[in-house]
Amino acid sequence: MNGLWPLWLTLLAIGMVLLTMSLTGGYEYECQKCHRHYKLGFMGIMMSRHGRDASGSWAISRCPHCRAITKARELRSDEQEKV
């Protein structure tokens, strides 16, 4: 059993990647500069700083449309935008 720890570590890492990909597929982000919506890829999710404040959840990321780095507001893909 002691010699199998690399296998268990590999399986745990694969499980974490799959869990992250399945949970983050339903989220979009809104750029605070151009107000366009976009999805972050796996590396974007893993590398960006996330948080929550009074206005909701956010992630600091680079917009693929205007290339600005902003505190993008998190939206659910199935959620209607509130006006």
Do you know the residue count of the chain? Answer: 83
State mean pLDDT over 1-22: 85
What local confidence, expressed as pLDDT, does residue 20 receive?
76
Q: Are 31 and 63 in contact (CB under 8 A)?
A: yes
Q: How far out from the chain centre does Cα 82 lie? A: 21
pTM over 0.75: no
What local confidence, expressed as pLDDT, does residue 83 receive?
45
State mean pLDDT over 12-34: 85
User: pLDDT tens across 31-74, in order?
Assistant: 999 999 998 887 888 788 888 988 888 999 999 999 999 999 98
* Closest by Cα among 8, 28, 38, 23 to 78: 28
